[in-house]
Structure 1
Amino acid sequence: MACQYECQKMTCEEPFSCPASTPKMLAVSVDGNRKQYRFRQSQRIDEPLFKGPFIMEDSAVTDFVDKVRTNVKCTPGKGTCGTSQWSADRETARRASRLDEEGLEMAVCRHGVLLKALNMFRGEIFAYLLFLETQFQATNVHFYCKDIACKYWPYLEKVAKTMPELRPLLSMQPFLLVMHAEAHSTKCEIVWSGRNLEGAGSTAGEEVEMVNSFLSRCAITTKYMTKSAHNDMLTVHAMGWNRRKQENLHVVLAKRYVKVIGHTIAMLEGETQKMKDTCEELGCPEDKVQQWTTHQATISLSRCPLSSYF
């Protein structure tokens, strides 16, 4: 597999790139996989066969995290949104004593193709998300999808104030995963959910969960491997996943197109007619309904300003 990868590099093939999303990428979904941990008991040091095509170099990630911590004072504690509380994504986290890598933070395009990943050493901290976002700065990504977008984006704005080189990242639009948004507060769902964002189309942002399910199968053996073998095994499986995705991409896109032309348009026409009938029954013009919808979104944003998420 390593020889095949070297041959692909000579022919300018990109195993970790989506043909349908290049060069302008609509959305990137990022999430952590805590099942991809590795025990400290493997002390042998070997050189990995793959250096950086999928899993980023640990030294580059560590330097970036240290730089962010030097410039920005982190806020400790768990994240909450409405009645929901989670212990994964936060600004700070302790390092586990018995583990070397605590998991894998991965970025996936909206077609399920793996793009980049990094080893987590302190849980799912925001600095890891920030590092991955910098890797897509040149690809014109429009939506940056995360299950805690309502917490991460204010953190990015805070970091960008003290690190001007990261301000271009604010041109991306935060996208709260459609299914995960159901666990957030109603106001948060109105403002951040991808279902309510213009231009998102049918993007759900949940594509990374499919990849997590696939790579988690490797965790039974990779947690006992050396660092280099752990890196190579996950890279090989990721390359195999991407190859199957790319070979079947034309079929998937054709099915999506047929679905949009048929089912979606028919459903849209039915809902539009239903809205017209309701407006006539209540004596309410359609432009009034649009004004009310915009007003409600404005109220939700004003009652839930970005500063309140800290």
Structure 2
Amino acid sequence: MTTPITTPFSAQSTAAEVVDGIDLTGRRAIVTGGASGIGVETARALAGAGAEVTLAVRDLAAGERTESDIIAATGNKQVHVAPLDLADRASVAAFVAAWDGPLHILVNNAGMMASPEMRTPEGWELQFATNHLGHFGLTTGLHHALAAAGGARVVSVSSSAHLRSPVVFEDIHFRERAYEPWSAYGQSKTANVLFAVEATRRWADDGITANSLMPGAIRTNLQRHITDEDLERMRRQSGSGSFTWKTPEQGASTSVLVATSPLLEGVGGRYFEDCAEAGPNQPGTRSGVAAYALDPEAATRLWELSIDTLAA
């Protein structure tokens, strides 16, 4: 049994506080969804510590505004913008083909939450396609760049919503069962955790580790499909009877911790929340990690299924 990782930081810590004193000069990072929400603050903290940061975004205009803002705030001119639509295989392939040189930090941050039923041209359910398959194709496509870096880290941004659903291998894309937005989101977030488990197992010999995390509740554009009634229900279901919003700066802190902390050197396949490794989920609560999300057999099955899906 491994000892859970603890840090001096907490739910109230900001990304800037977590990275304070860490020098990322010479390191190269990619943040998907880097032009909105916690992606902006993740990128800002990495750039503030000296990293060269690429914002991988769908909205190039928003990306360019964020790029200018981060350069002005940090004085780091090595901030770039590149187009990436995770639901489009051609876009992912183009991004991978355009990347040159090593990659030290990959933050798989972009996502969509609880959307109405939508599908890709291939017929894939869009939340699973975006949140998992797109990031899977991106990360595996960048494997050589990660291996070339030596000690590279992959950050897989999950959610406590993974507690809502395991990956339903028999019907991932809701072809047989009725579509339910939160179940679809939940299984995609479970897939994010399983991906980190299997990536670490497969790539540890290349010096690559991957960890997943729950950033916390942050009011951002991610919730554009969620009503006030949904939010009230989430508050009631939060387990403790309270529901505390984090600022985007606080919400980005666990991502930045996983990406940069010396305490995680060589550590992979684990799930973090509030700047510490999470324990097992306890029934009736919305914290901790579900056993099915760390299941190595499910992780291997998902990896192989993902390869087959993207190759079809």
TM-score (norm 1): 0.29
Q: Decide which structure has the larger Cα Rg and report it.
A: 1
TM-score (norm 2): 0.29
Normalized per residue, which structure has more helix?
Answer: 1
